Structure 1
């Protein structure tokens, strides 16, 4: 074999070997692309109590890779992920059961199953559920906006367990949202806002802040079959929980400064902040206040209106406030 022929032979051999290596690499890449994340569905939620529930999932395919972890994840918000609360329930394919613990009573949660392999994490379909209430109640109610509220029976009356959050009167007319401070302070018609106009932490889960013109509007602020609480309603409420020195019995166990709130009534009051004229209160974490329908003197258009006021003290205060202030609202069943 002469020198030229030998070089040609080496070049041809190298090309053949390179082509074979590329074919092997391409085959490996093809095989790798055949692997996927797991496929699964979420099992029905059962055995719901005040603090626990049971669900799980069914993994119908591991995607060609072994399962690393599986379970359910849940959150107060939609589309929970493994960065939220999770269970860890083995690494097998097929159906599995998940026990969900340490929930809050009478709270809405979103849940879905998950499974992880080396390719990634997949989620099953999302389900929602609400834990049971510890307290007697008259069921859930819905306002004209579609907001759903829990209730609690205290004494012989049924109360909303949450602050009102409607943006419409009972007849469907809109209540304007007013953010500007000077405009709010000069209003003679109904309006609502969020605390600090939604820029702080106390927003939708605390309910809306209303002026008294919205409370007093003939179109109705409360849902059908309900009414905004009166001065007498709040007096009777305080008597039912042990008197005016029993504020802690009305206050949620969390959200307040200190840790001696009992919420033994189930009223579940949380600090909400207020709007004094056009100015928001500076320390919302220690104050909650609700309008009543009762004016100090009905003969005076701009006279003071009674409100019920809680802070970190033990006393329930029923005080007089200016008609242009902004407070939250609790409703009572007719």
Structure 2
């Protein structure tokens, strides 16, 4: 029994010794966070300016580095003064890196512009190298227009356009017709013929071969070319034939706009020497269509819509 106790004690001592001699587990190495470089401004280049017209241009740019943070805005900025910024006129062309295209509109003709690409991230806005370009000359839009009122009696295919002088017959028309002002052929030499809109819109073609009836937009382009509604009329009017004061009349375009008056939907004639009205190809609704007019007492050129039975002058544009 004594020996048994001795052996047990010895075993306990040995176990204690060996357990005490075991090494403690090595501590885990500290977690070191990755080093993230600070964000910087992006890198953007202004590559090229192309497709330059008298009032538009296209610019290609390239963001080659986002600076370590997402691009939130990009585009170009431009001015007639050097080093334009986003405080000047600019485009907004999405986000992200890579090549992108920007389009500039509403420029002035024969004018030099400075342009820079820009890109914005969380750090700020970076700019590309400045470049410049010069817009072209406005094309003479009116060189494609007839310079006198239409004076034909047949459609393009050779079919006759009825001449209608009777007031009641004119009022009841739903097909094409023409007349002279006041049914007097002596007015034809100065003012051409008056046509209702049914003739203008006839599928056989009122305009001679190689020409077409101007669209609403083509008339608007002329007015814009001449400086806008408030002044274009004077530039289109002749300096004679109109009642005084013939406000703003210069005829500097050579368009020879004369006061041809018109025939109402009821068949009566009015406004000779006071106003002129030209049909467009644009239908407004089932009973009216769009016209462009000039007046003796204002320099404007108005656009409105009138009854399709009205007799008005017509100008044509080359195809």
Place the TM-score, normalised by the shorter chain, in its bin: 0.5 to 0.7
8 Å contact from structure 2 (residues 262, 277) kept in 1:
yes
Q: Which residue, out of 179, 183, 196, partners 1:211?
A: 196
Equivalent residue for 2:270?
Answer: 282
8 Å contact from structure 2 (residues 261, 269) kept in 1:
yes
Q: Which residue, out of 198, 212, 215, partners 1:227?
A: 212
- Give the Cα separation in 1 of the matches to 2:202 and 2:168: 22
- Give the Cα separation in 2 of the matches to 1:253 and 1:191: 30
Equivalent residue for 2:294?
Answer: 310
> TM-score, normalising length from structure 1?
0.51
CA 1:253 to 1:231, structure 2 compared with 1: closer, same or farther past 3 Å?
same
8 Å contact from structure 1 (residues 290, 309) kept in 2:
yes
Of structures 1 and 2, the larger Rg is shown by 2
- Give the Cα separation in 1 of the matches to 2:203 and 2:267: 27
- Give the Cα separation in 2 of the matches to 1:314 and 1:215: 27
Deviations 1:193-230 (A, max 9, x none): 0000017x633321000011110111101111100111
Question: Alpha-carbon deviation of 1:156?
Answer: 6.8
Report SS of the residue matched to 1:232.
Answer: helix
Equivalent residue for 1:262?
Answer: 250
Deviations 1:86-141 (A, max 9, x none): xxxxxxxxxxxxxxxxxxxxxxxxxxxxxxxxxxxxxxxxxxxxxxxxxxxxxxxx
8 Å contact from structure 1 (residues 296, 320) kept in 2:
yes
8 Å contact from structure 2 (residues 262, 271) kept in 1:
no
- Give the Cα separation in 1 of the matches to 2:270 and 2:290: 22
Q: Which residue, out of 237, 243, 251, partners 1:251?
A: 237
Report SS of the residue matched to 2:270.
Answer: coil
Aligned residues: 177
CA RMSD of superposed structures (Å)? 1.7
Equivalent residue for 1:159?
Answer: 145
8 Å contact from structure 1 (residues 157, 332) kept in 2:
no
Q: Which residue, out of 224, 228, 233, partners 1:239?
A: 224
Query: In the TM superposition, what are the counterparts of 1:1-334 in structure 2 within 5 Å?
Result: 154-155=140-141, 158-198=144-184, 202-246=187-231, 247-257=233-243, 258=245, 260-297=248-285, 302-312=286-296, 313-334=298-319
Report SS of the residue matched to 1:163.
Answer: coil
Question: Alpha-carbon deviation of 1:157?
Answer: 5.3
8 Å contact from structure 1 (residues 154, 237) kept in 2:
no
> TM-score, normalising length from structure 2?
0.53
